[in-house]
A and B are shown apart, each in its own frame.
Chain A
């Protein structure tokens, strides 16, 4: 009897946990905000931070830097083109010919 009660209790506990987790799985509705404009919450069973989790994107910092570097280089080439144009009135696209 005691055993059964215990088992029932365990089952109930599990069921309750399931309920919570089910309810939780549907909990992120966007309305619980840490701060104005910051209302994201992890979905139940999913981490607050993905770093170190099985969902860690493991981004390579070198890859992440490529766009920023590319834009800097384009801006430098454009500035050289514009400068030449302002000085000479002639547009030369090929920066090697400037």
Chain B
């Protein structure tokens, strides 16, 4: 492991060091242990990103570089819905849980016989929710809470209409249901819930409609609200106390949620969090990023607009913000800072072991911070074509802007890289702790941008910019192809071991395995496996539709399976999904992805692969109505 270790092992190590966990029966450790224990089994996939590190790395090596050519479909499942299918299924104790696009159906399949749907939950939602979703009717997945002697195991699902539902994992019946977001003010939910201890963490969406972002913790037992913290406004609302950023006061400390805004603009200031979470059980810190400030028109909101665009570390029990690093002060490009957080333990350049969090941002920079206190360890460009920044000042943490690529009223900014879609978006990437490499699903899209004035009306879009987007300098700008990259990155050296161009943005994310493989799906409908050491393409499969989720893997009855959703959509798919032609429609995505329709159409479902397609129906009599044959 080269000193790297899973969070589970960290937790165990700390228990050994303290030598009191078991004896004193620390409720903290116990409450965490069940999910950590489940996540350590190769037979489970219990949360987004696989375990609390969010590294989406599996120790399974049954499928490896030697035999991946024999990977074939074992079984499939259609969700019965179109639109983008994001996220990935969960597997717990032999049952797979599947999420879908709006109206956010949930399906449970028994892995011994996935042809029979064990239970299904089909929510009735106000169809008006569709009209306030900025970027397709997507949903990033489910969460699992393991249950205790008081309360049964639960599957948690966030709905586009703003409700959070807890379903009994056993039969799918509703256990509790609360309102987290109100579509009447433009607030929706697409983020996957996240379970830590007995808390369900829920994010928010709607910065394109001026929604002030917040994250909420609910008690899994009864749905009661434990804490709710905002991205902008008074310190108390944000969870800023006396020790906030104590080790890095240069990042800013008190009062900035108001002082970096003019007047009451923070009340509609954005900063929603709809990406991914990670958690360190030793530090008891939850990591996530807040999104872009509202509106996109920078001239209408002078100031640094804190604490939008911020890598946040919150105390899990109180929600208090321990440290916060604003990556993009006064955003001018919609670089919503919500992307994936991946935890690792590595030696820094001075040879010191560090507990790290690595985060590839929309703004073209991949950040690695010390996750204990927020110290900046590295900040590298995702690609050398990034031009909005000259560099990040490592001492102050300030990204130094190239004013030529800023945006402002009465001006059309051109050839700005990255575009608003970022050089990285909602992709859930992976990290191989053996190789100490991050496998990054990257976009290669640049843009022209011109803001315009507009009023704020609750429930209406509040964007205020017109965009044209197109392939970056390394793509094919004449033919609108070459919009993505996949890269292997070392966070300490800052080096990319390998990189490869993709026809379209690598939107969904990656899975890394001990079989020296990195898997990912593409928008043009391929599921690919590369040698994670050198990037060589070893295998691919043509799916029914493009992928915008990330792959997962699990073992069942001794066989390793790899699963991935198909069903193109999300922001890159809005032109195709809603049949739009104007290149500036879909917040500028329609023009960039004008060719997507020549490779894929909509879909919605799951593909599960294994070596030679081994699976439950190798015995064809399984799930037959009858095996009796009547011959004349």
Point out residues on A near B: beta carbons under 8 Å: 25-31, 33, 35-40, 42-43, 46-51, 55, 57-61, 63-68, 70-71, 74-75, 77-79, 81-82, 85-86, 91, 93
Contact = CB atoms under 8 A, between A and B. Distances in A.
9 closest A-B pairs by CB: A37-B252, A66-B458, A26-B403, A74-B179, A82-B224, A70-B182, A64-B267, A78-B178, A57-B300
B249 interface: yes
A28 B401 CA distance: 7
B501 interface: no
Contacts of B259: 35, 38
> Considering residues B179, B214, B301, which has the most beta carbons from chain A within 10 angstroms of its beta carbon?
B179
Contact of A82 (B185, B222, B256): B222
B268 interface: yes
B176 interface: yes
B212 interface: yes
Most buried by B among A26, A71, A93: A71
B113 interface: no
Given A57-B265, A57-B300, A39 B329 contact: yes
Contact of A67 (B175, B178, B185, B398): B185
A29 B249 CA distance: 21
Interface stretch (B343-351, B404-412, B437-445): B404-412
Interface of B: 174-180, 182, 184-185, 187, 210-212, 214, 222-225, 228, 249-253, 256, 259-260, 262-265, 267-268, 299-304, 306, 326, 329-330, 390, 393, 396, 398-404, 406, 408-409, 453, 455-458
Contact of A30 (B177, B262, B401): B401
B213 to A, nearest CB: 11
The dominant DSSP class at the A interface is loop
Contacts of B393: 31
Contacts of B458: 63, 66-67
B189 to A, nearest CB: 12
Contacts of B330: 30, 40
A20 to B, nearest CB: 15
15 contacts: A29-B401, A30-B400, A31-B393, A37-B251, A49-B262, A57-B265, A59-B455, A61-B264, A63-B268, A63-B456, A66-B458, A74-B180, A74-B182, A86-B224, A91-B176
B177 A38 contact: no
Instruction: Identify whether the interface residues of B are mostly helix, strand, loop, or mixed.
Output: loop
Nearest to B457: A63
B407 to A, nearest CB: 10
Given A26-B403, A64-B267, A74-B182, A85 B176 contact: yes
Nearest to A23: B403
Contact of A57 (B174, B303, B402, B456): B456
Contact of B302 (A48, A66, A74, A82): A48
A78 to B, nearest CB: 5
A82 B223 contact: yes
A36 B250 contact: yes
Given A37-B256, A37-B326, A57-B300, A75 B267 contact: no
A91 B164 CA distance: 13
Given A50-B300, A50-B302, A64-B264, 20 more contacts: A29-B402, A30-B398, A30-B399, A36-B253, A37-B256, A37-B326, A39-B398, A40-B304, A40-B329, A42-B302, A46-B299, A46-B409, A48-B302, A51-B263, A60-B455, A67-B182, A67-B210, A67-B267, A71-B214, A81-B223
Contacts of B303: 38, 40
A45 B267 CA distance: 27
A48 B265 CA distance: 15
A77 B182 CA distance: 12
B199 to A, nearest CB: 14
A73 B381 CA distance: 44
Nearest to A32: B398
Given A67-B212, A67-B267, A78 B453 contact: no
B252 A36 contact: yes
Nearest to B399: A30
A43 B403 CA distance: 9
Contact of A26 (B180, B400, B404): B404
Nearest to A83: B224
Identify the interface centre among A31, A37, A71: most chain B CB within 10 Å of its CB.
A37
A29 B182 contact: no
Contacts of B224: 78-79, 82, 86
A43 B222 contact: no
Given A36-B251, A38-B252, A70-B182, A91 B398 contact: no
A59 B185 contact: no
Contact of B264 (A43, A59, A82): A59
B300 to A, nearest CB: 5
Given A46-B408, A50-B300, A66 B185 contact: yes
A59 B329 contact: no
A36 B256 CA distance: 9
B322 to A, nearest CB: 16
B253 A37 contact: yes
Contacts of B178: 78, 81-82
B300 A55 contact: yes
Given A36-B249, A36-B250, A59-B456, A85 B222 contact: yes
Nearest to B249: A36
A64 B456 contact: yes
A82 B218 CA distance: 11
Contacts of B456: 57, 59-60, 63-64
Contacts of A50: 262, 299-300, 302
